[in-house]
Homo-oligomer: A and B are copies of this chain.
């Protein structure tokens, strides 16, 4: 069975429209490229009980869970507490992280800053690949910060541990509308029921009307399905295949 994943974005700033999240889109793309199927993304407020509920549910439902946001020294940074509560463990201060913070802030480390040394008891610290500050994983839950530059750097440092069998993709761009296309897609799915097929109309593109995506983990199956689909479509309907 290929790996599944869920993503939990924690942040009032996203829900209130002050910030546009970039981390979910990044992670969806990266995980797909790694062969991991993202099944759910959710955005919730900075509230411990909601975070705990969501993390517990995601951790059971998916192989991998990623959280974004709510880690840091201020009052609204409650993700670690939420993850700990989801797992039924206390929050503890990790001596290795305390030492890192003391080195980073020199002698000016405040109590607030030391909150960043807190982890759920039993969490794994993932170091290496140039990380100044380790990643924190509690069982299958990876806790990442909301700031996009740091989010990417921290994910990239551990991305290879998530790699699975690749999902192959073909895009067919057509110049017929979805109303006509629908019948061709239904016939394609009759012949290739395991194929993942998407159909995305593009209103303002002068080149084509719909992008059709065909996907499978089995490259041979995908190639056969593509040939079948192209063979049925009217010859002048296909703009390009990528």
Contact = CB atoms under 8 A, between A and B. Distances in A.
B199 A74 contact: yes
Nearest to A31: B17
Interface in A9-68: 12-21, 24-25, 28-33, 37-45
A68 B176 CA distance: 23
Contact of A183 (B20, B112, B180, B213): B112
A186 interface: yes
A78 B14 CA distance: 27
A76 B112 contact: no
B182 A110 contact: yes
A196 B46 CA distance: 11
| Chain copies in the assembled complex | 2
A41 B201 CA distance: 24
Interface of A: 12-21, 24-25, 28-33, 37-45, 72-76, 105, 109-110, 112-113, 115, 147, 149-150, 167, 178-183, 185-186, 189, 196-201, 203-204, 213, 215
Contacts of A39: 15, 44-45
A109 B181 CA distance: 12
B189 A75 contact: yes
Nearest to A54: B40
Given A72-B178, A110-B183, A15 B28 contact: yes
Main secondary structure of the interface of A (DSSP, over half): mixed
A16 B42 contact: no
B43 A16 contact: no
Nearest to A28: B17
A149 B179 CA distance: 19
Given A32-B17, A200-B13, A180 B110 contact: yes
A180 B178 CA distance: 56
A73 B182 contact: yes
7 contacts: A15-B40, A17-B28, A17-B29, A17-B32, A18-B32, A75-B199, A147-B203
Contacts of A196: 12
